[in-house]
Amino acid sequence: MSKILVTGGVGYIGSWVTKLLCDSGHQVVVLDNLSHGYKENVDKRAKLIIGDIADPKKTKEALSGVDAVIHMAGLIVVPESVKDPVKYTKNNVLGTVSLLESMKEEGVKKIIFSSSACVYGTPDKLPIKEDAPLHPDNPYGATKAAIETFLQAYHANFGFDVIILRYFNPYGPGRLAPPITHAIPNFVKATLSKKHIPLYWKGEQIRDFIYIEDLAQAHIDVLKLTGFNVFNLGMEKGVKIKDVVQIIFNIVGYTVPIDDLGGRPGDVHANYASSEKLKEAVGWEARVSLREGLKRTINYYKNPK
């Protein structure tokens, strides 16, 4: 088993990845500045170091004896990135380059990067495959695309093994730090509280929702890969947002009113993945259906831990 550093491991996805790594017998170190998460999220079997990836001293401490890095630290709110692209560039791009330099100096040359379907922007065709052109529609997506380019450069110049996972839309149980911008938790919480559901674009956008445990498992499955790899990580099924809301209503057995919020800058109308490449490489596949995942999510928010 390996020793793995998870940056951003206090966050929603990072804490799931940390748990599954520990379940698989790996030794796990988490580096997080606690700006967007809770210490209680971190599995007790992991070692938590509080610090920022832009701080070489803390980062090198966290990298001691590590075999690979799963890099999940970063700002993720699309509308905020539209308002403050400089903040996102400094934190996401420059922070990652600082991490890569610390890794190089410590001799750690394997990184699994949590990227995003946002790098594709408005796709030319669906489902999206990994060789589709990158033209992000918002600054958040632009930071992910820029980081991918730096990873390619570190692979070419310094021999880094790189695995890029382009997430589509993760959802599922777990404690999220405010502001909660993920659609499904907001829909579920509003429904359970019998409040209005806020909906952009009348819910006509098409997304690929992947259950959090399936997404987290992919990080363990790709650990043994070498070279430079890019994979989509989705369910391979596009579903309209308004249809997700309807499934939630069907599960709980009642409806609540919907607030039409109109359009929103930075949104892509439709995206869903082809994950065939990842299946062929490591045998990964999504196991939890949307309906089952929504049931588990609803149960979690009824009785959050």
**Quick check: 104 and 158 in contact, CB under 8 A?**
yes
List of long-range contacts for 190-198, beta carbons under 8 Å, 24+ apart = 190/256, 191/248, 191/249, 191/252, 191/256, 192/252, 192/298, 192/301, 192/302, 194/256, 195/256, 196/256, 196/257, 196/258, 196/259, 197/245, 197/256, 197/257, 197/258, 197/259, 198/259, 198/261
Q: Is 140 a catalytic residue?
A: yes
Determine the 3-state secondary structure of 41 from DSSP.
helix
Q: DSSP string of 64-76?
A: TT-SEEEE--S--
Determine the 3-state secondary structure of 207 from DSSP.
strand
Of 291, 289, 210, give the one whose Cα is nearest residue 247: 291
Cα–Cα distance measured from residue 90 to residue 93, given in angstroms and rounded to the nearest whole number:
6
Annotated active-site residue in 12, 88, 120, 140: 140
* Residue carrying the six token digits 């990845």: 17
Of 95, 108, 98, give the one whose Cα is nearest residue 64: 108
Cα–Cα distance measured from residue 201 to residue 263, given in angstroms and rounded to the nearest whole number:
5
CA 173 to chain centre: 14
Q: List residues with catalytic annotation.
A: 140
